[in-house]
Amino acid sequence: MQDEDAQGSTTAPRRLCWGGGALLLTACSGPQSVLDPAGRDAEVLAVLFWWMLGGAVLLWLAMNGLFFYVTRMKERAFSPQAADRLIVFGGVVFPTVVLAVLLSFALSEMPRQRDLGEGLTLRVTGESWWWRVEYRTEDTETPVISANEIRLPAGSRSELELAANGYIHSLWIPALGGKTDLIPGRETRMSLEPVTPGEYGGQCAEFCGESHAKMALRAVVLPPEEFAAWLEQQAAPATPPETETARRGQAVFLREGCGACHAIRGLGARGTIGPDLTHLGGRRTLAAGVLPMSRAALEDWLRAPEAIKPGVRMPAYGHLAAADLAALATFLEGLK
Ligand code: CUA
């Protein structure tokens, strides 16, 4: 009976340990992890992390070993000379060498993380609380404008010009590279060289106000040919609505004055305050990564955006008749 009790009391913490450990490990992989690199810059950062972790574990073991040896095994105290040597080596020489090696590795890698991009240039502006993304290439005069999604070609280094409108933000796509601040009134830059095509999560990494936590973005890395085709499609104006419901939605869009804040190229809406909606339906998420891109989510968003993203500048359209709201969502979802 006693044995069983003793076992019961040790298995609970053990389970907690294993559970906690497994939970921590799940954070090491997946689309938004620094330890699951999909780009050149993130690979270097991951290598640096593993070396630092390995070194820290070795040091921890060595310190505990030394502590154990001195307190449990050593019978006599160190001689003053031996103690001095231990202090000079362990307290001065060893840390100096370790820190110098780590610093020189990090410094040698830093310029590469800031290399100039080749070909594609993107301008990313931190808005409240979403990302304005403009693509500039050598062969397009006017930039292709999108939001909350950064598409990049795999295998080449893209240049990102960073700006902020109103508040400070920080752009971080952990699987692709380190973070850089977006500062009002100042131009900053970074470059990214994605290697593996796929979808990766990103997040604003600098507290910027009430919806900071809801300022996510999606990075979609495509093979170069696919990227070129996508960019060409994005440069085209919006396709006019095809169904009766979508046409009714477009009429609601115009009647309600949505074009004062949003642009839809080809349909006469030229607002620049909110995100460009020309190809809204082709994006993966809605409201900066907060909702999936679907008709139902669009309806929820239009009805009460403030309930989904506190502090948002988008006004609510809950006063519209249900059929008008549904038509508006259908029209917007159709903008592929
Ligand atoms: Cu934008 Cu935090």
Host H or E run for residue 126:
strand 121-126
Quote the CA–CA distance of 216 and 171 in Å, as a whole number: 9
The verdict on pTM exceeding 0.75 is yes
Q: Name the phi and psi angles at 49, rounded to 5.
A: -60, -45
Cα(190) to ligand 1 centroid in Å equals: 17
Cα(217) to ligand 1 centroid in Å equals: 11
- Is any atom of ligand 1 closer than 6 Å to the C-beta of 217? no
Domains of the chain: 26-224 (2.60.40.420), 244-333 (2.60.40.420)
Quote the CA–CA distance of 115 and 123 in Å, as a whole number: 16
Closest ligand 1 atom to 206 CA: 2
Contact 235, 144 (CB under 8 A): yes
Which residue owns the Cα nearest ligand 1 atom 1? Answer: 169
The closest alpha carbon to 317, from 304, 330, 332, 298, belongs to: 304
The crossing angle, in degrees rounded to 10, of helices 40-68 and 94-113 is: 170
Task: State the pLDDT at residue 276.
Answer: 95
Task: State the pLDDT at residue 41.
Answer: 92
Q: Which residues pair with 202 in a beta bridge?
A: 217
Give the model confidence (pLDDT) of 123-147 as tens digits: 999 999 999 999 986 666 678 999 9
pLDDT at 1 over 80: no
